[in-house]
Chain A
Amino acid sequence: MGVSASVRPTLSEFARFVDDVEPRLLQALVAVYGPVDGRGATVDALSWAWEHWDRLQEIENKPAYLFRVGQSATRRYSTRPLPTRLRVEGLVEDREIEPGLLPALERLSNQQRTVVVLVHAFGWRQTEVAEWLEISVSTAREHLARGLRRLRDDLEANDVS
């Protein structure tokens, strides 16, 4: 498949774009894949944006589109099942985090984990989550309720205090 030439932005123009888009994009992809793969997916998505700048200008919701690009790139290049690395040595001091939380998050479905993390860890509105995941708000709300319920049950079952 041919790739037509794409006009790239100036460095300052791209820097402004990254400043604007990257924080939400990083959070969204971290919610899906965890800190390591999520950050890698963000780099992949922004690389695509740099290389396809003129195509990107035609897209209305650029951050949500790059979110999908990042997911596709991660699935394509990863050799392991995803997400697998919520717990990363050195990145998060585990002793400061509820010990059962990350294992419990890993046991949620992908959709439940993504919605739960975006809403309660990163403070996103449910409408915003629904827009990025391209699902209805009621579906996002249902994922959130069920995910949170499973999380609570899981944490209480493993609570040793």
Chain B
Amino acid sequence: MSVDPEAALAELGARWNSSIAHVQPDEVTDLVACAPEPVQQPDEDEAMLRRRSLPWLLGAAAALVAVLIGGLIVLSAARSSDNAVSVPTGVEDGPVGGVDGSDHADQPPPHAVDDEVLVSNRSPVVIGDEFGAALLEPLKRFGFEVDDRGVESSGLARPSFYDWPSKLTEILDELPAGTPVVATFGGNDSQILVRADESIVAQVDDPRWAPEYRERVDAVMNQITSAGHPLVWVGVPTPPDRFSAALGEIRSITVQAAAANDQVTYVDTWDILERQSIEDPGSVELQSPDEYHLSDAGGQVVAAEVAAVLAGL
């Protein structure tokens, strides 16, 4: 007789529901009262540690190498057309090239034969933090000329380190009308929000943090789109087994901000990586050892989605 997993699971749930003691309020309050230090929101510390970790540096170095290699590739690559390129229609259409981790520059774009679509060459400017570096080389392979203006360790939290609104004014002045902008922000932003003069606006556990960050996101989005440039906002990745409350909040804020601006398309890295893990579970690492930045294969997967959005602009 075959085993019915659903019935077995229902029995397990009933047993667990009846045997696991519920957490009582006084258990929590007594525990906190006895604790030598307050329990801090764990992800904020974790995000700080992640940014300072060696794997992070290795990831950034790898991304830099990818950029350099990408430059060489662009010099040598022959374009089939000045005004039209082929891009994949999306990661769910089939296997994505380079998922064995060996993103060879001379390989054709994924889906080049079966799922290609002809599009105008809407080559973008890439701005934001180092997360976008992993997208550069794949976007070039998809036929886009990429103008990389990303700055490592930058974000919207610390204009004293790099003032993106000010820099954007200069960048946007140079751009031909309608040039798409691809933005990656958030990976360095789960920290204190300061002004350009380093004065503090909001601590990470300050209720003012979220509305202030939303304002900064809105400002950057509006700055770009009001200048006539379509914006593709590539969201932060936070896989379910690496939850980060702070990054989750950043994701929620940016999703809502993008939804409020019809010139912004939100590319949900979180969901893309999740879908890819379903399609091809365990066969390839889509993120760097720091479990935040994208690997070459992950860059390929996310860039395919970005390319599809650019193609539709």
Binding site for B on A (CB under 8 A): 1-4, 6, 11, 14-15, 18, 22-23, 26-27, 30, 32, 35, 38-39, 42-44, 46-52, 54-55, 57-59, 65, 67-69, 71-73, 75-76, 91-93, 96-98, 100-102, 104, 109-111, 114, 116-117, 120-123, 133-136, 139, 142-143, 146, 148, 151-152, 155-156, 159, 161
Contact = CB atoms under 8 A, between A and B. Distances in A.
Contacts of B270: 134-135
A155 B277 contact: no
A47 B42 CA distance: 12
B2 A159 contact: yes
Given A57-B207, A135-B274, A146-B278, A98 B11 contact: yes
Interface residues of B, number: 64
B281 A52 contact: no
A109 B20 CA distance: 23
28 contacts: A1-B44, A1-B45, A1-B191, A11-B25, A15-B25, A46-B23, A49-B28, A50-B29, A50-B32, A65-B245, A65-B248, A72-B244, A72-B245, A76-B42, A91-B20, A92-B19, A98-B12, A100-B3, A120-B5, A120-B9, A120-B10, A121-B9, A121-B16, A139-B271, A151-B9, A152-B3, A155-B2, A155-B3
Contacts of B2: 155-156, 159
Contact of B25 (A4, A14, A122): A14
A128 to B, nearest CB: 15
Contact of A121 (B13, B23, B39, B204): B13
Given A69-B41, A101-B5, A43 B278 contact: no
Nearest to A123: B13
A26 B22 contact: yes
A26 B23 contact: yes
B113 interface: no
Contacts, number: 193
A114 B248 CA distance: 18
A18 to B, nearest CB: 4
- 7 nearest CB pairs, A to B: A121-B13, A98-B8, A120-B9, A155-B3, A68-B243, A72-B42, A71-B243
B8 A1 contact: no
Contact of B23 (A22, A51, A155, A159): A22
A18 B25 contact: yes
Given A50-B28, A134-B240, A76 B46 contact: yes
Contact of B205 (A3, A142, A159): A3
B241 A58 contact: no
Contacts of A148: 5-6
Given A1-B192, A22-B23, 11 more contacts: A3-B38, A26-B22, A52-B41, A65-B245, A68-B248, A72-B46, A76-B42, A76-B45, A139-B274, A148-B5, A161-B1
